[in-house]
Amino acid sequence: MSTNTFLSYLSFINLIIFNVRASNHFYGGSITYKPTTSFGNGDGNVTIIITQTYLWSYPTIYCNDTLVRNQALIDLLGHTGYGVNLNCISNCSTSGSYQPVPITPYCTDYSTSLGFTIGQRLDTVNLALGSYFSVAFQSTSLPPLTLYSAQDGGSWSTACTIDLSFKPNGRLNFAPIAPMPPYISIPVNGPQSIQIPVFDADSDNLRCRFATNSSVNECGSVCAPDSLPSSSVLFHNCTLVIVGHNANDTYAVTVQVTLFV
Ligand SMILES: *[C@@H]1O[C@H](CO)[C@@H](O)[C@H](O)[C@H]1NC(C)=O
Ligand SMILES: *[C@@H]1O[C@H](CO)[C@@H](O)[C@H](O)[C@H]1NC(C)=O
Ligand SMILES: *[C@@H]1O[C@H](CO)[C@@H](O)[C@H](O)[C@H]1NC(C)=O
Ligand SMILES: *[C@@H]1O[C@H](CO)[C@@H](O)[C@H](O)[C@H]1NC(C)=O
Ligand SMILES: *[C@@H]1O[C@H](CO)[C@@H](O)[C@H](O)[C@H]1NC(C)=O
Ligand SMILES: *[C@@H]1O[C@H](CO)[C@@H](O)[C@H](O)[C@H]1NC(C)=O
């Protein structure tokens, strides 16, 4: 077998929360981006679209059919995320003049039976070619979790690395997408396999790994392995195997999807 080089120049982080029954209001989400052109705008910049998708508990964070139809911004007043921007958290000197965009999304869906509201927003921004930096929505007040890797009140971080340098194929890369429902329930006992659905407009070879806190705060206090039941495994192919031991336990984990070259 040849030697593999793991290049994490594309990354995308998904906060996945298992079996949430809780009173806190933020249930996780994901951030990704894609350039609108593979070659740049021709003026030293490239236009990218940043997509943020988040879940909150319904009806505390309210949405209805009228609000979806009217493309209304979700009202977060008094709750996690209110007034918060998607800030640069790392390598900001090479952010290509990134001006933080808000995290407050438009109400796109809700479920009265499952008890959540989903919001999404797309922002078009111009950045200098060659920019390389990380942005994140970071806050506290996750629902109470069974295991915290740090008992710090549920801090979490949902981050995305934006890399606008040309790749060996002479193009800009599209970030991978993992359209995972951030909130799923699993049966008690018996290993449960969850396939995290990842895809990428470039059909690049994608791999999953647990997010880490080593150089960049990718996961706050929801870092595997500590935040998951022991013997949980995340395979490179994005299959997550987890064993839940007790009814109503709640776990969260942050997964990073990267391009494998
Ligand atoms: C949806 O919510 C808005 C704002 O709270 C309200 O004005 C509207 O009447 C509601 N629509 C329905 C169909 O309940
Ligand atoms: C490139 O993008 C930056 C940041 O948005 C902006 O200030 C600058 O005017 C843009 N340059 C051109 C040539 O559009
Ligand atoms: C930021 O830059 C440093 C040094 O170039 C690098 O080691 C680190 O991984 C970068 N972090 C991200 C993903 O922004
Ligand atoms: C990760 O870093 C953040 C910010 O420095 C910190 O609050 C958190 O406790 C760290 N998580 C772990 C698991 O060490
Ligand atoms: C992913 O890899 C694991 C371990 O090799 C394997 O058991 C599982 O079937 C694979 N999943 C898919 C969807 O290929
Ligand atoms: C789990 O939660 C449900 C609904 O709140 C409750 O009826 C049930 O007793 C709980 N089970 C355990 C083992 O705590």
* Between 6 and 135, residue with greater pLDDT: 135
Amino acid at 169: N
The pLDDT of residue 143 is 62
Ligand number, closest to the Cα atom of 247 = 6
Neighbour count for residue 67 (Cβ, 10 Å): 18
Binding site membership of 247 for ligand 6 (Cβ less than 6 Å) = yes
- Model confidence at 133, pLDDT cuts 50, 70, 90, reads very high
Looking up tokens 């470039």 gives 202
Instruction: Estimate to the nearest angstrom the gap between the alpha carbon of 250 and the chain centroid.
Output: 18
φ/ψ of residue 66, rounded to 5: -65, -45
Q: How far is CA 16 from CA 146, 169, 174, 181, in A?
A: 14, 33, 22, 8
Looking up tokens 């209304």 gives 72
Percent of the chain with pLDDT over 70: 77
The residue whose CA has the least distance to atom 9 of ligand 1 is 66
The pLDDT of residue 123 is 97
Amino acid at 118: I
**Cα-only R_g, the chain:** 18
CA distance between the termini of the chain: 14
Strand 206-210 and strand 251-259: the pairing is antiparallel
Q: Which of 58, 60, 67, 76 to mutate to test the pocket of ligand 1 (most atoms within 8 A of CB)?
A: 67
Whether 171 contacts 38, CB under 8 Å: yes
Neighbour count for residue 46 (Cβ, 10 Å): 23
Query: Residue 210: inside a domain, yes or no?
Result: yes
Taking only the tens place, the pLDDT of each residue in 7-59 is: 222 334 445 544 333 345 777 788 888 899 999 999 999 999 999 988 888 89
Q: What is the biggest distance separating any 2 CA atoms in the chain, rounded to whole angstroms?
A: 57
Average of per-residue pLDDT across 110-133: 91
Q: How far is CA 153 from CA 55, 66, 80, 129, 212, in A?
A: 19, 35, 13, 38, 18
Range of the domain at 46: 8-260
Ligand number, closest to the Cα atom of 97 = 2
Q: What is the pTM of this model?
A: 0.77
- Model confidence at 171, pLDDT cuts 50, 70, 90, reads confident
Query: Residue 37: inside a domain, yes or no?
Result: yes
Number of domains observed in the structure of the chain:
1
Task: Among 28-42, 218-232, 237-251, name the most confident range.
Answer: 28-42
The pLDDT of residue 18 is 47
The pLDDT of residue 35 is 92
Percent of the chain with pLDDT over 90: 31
Binding site membership of 258 for ligand 3 (Cβ less than 6 Å) = no
Query: Residue 112: inside a domain, yes or no?
Result: yes
Q: Which of 198, 206, 236, 239 to mutate to test the pocket of ligand 5 (most atoms within 8 A of CB)?
A: 239
Query: Residue 3: inside a domain, yes or no?
Result: no
Taking only the tens place, the pLDDT of each residue in 54-100 is: 888 889 999 999 999 999 999 999 887 889 999 999 999 999 999 99
Can you say whether the dihedral through the CA atoms of 159, 164, 168, 170 is positive or negative? Answer: positive
Query: Residue 2: inside a domain, yes or no?
Result: no
Average of per-residue pLDDT across 129-156: 73
Ligand number, closest to the Cα atom of 250 = 6
Query: Residue 240: inside a domain, yes or no?
Result: yes
Q: How far is CA 98 from CA 51, 54, 82, 104, 106, in A?
A: 15, 21, 21, 18, 22
Q: Which atom of ligand 4 is nearest to the CA of 221?
A: 11
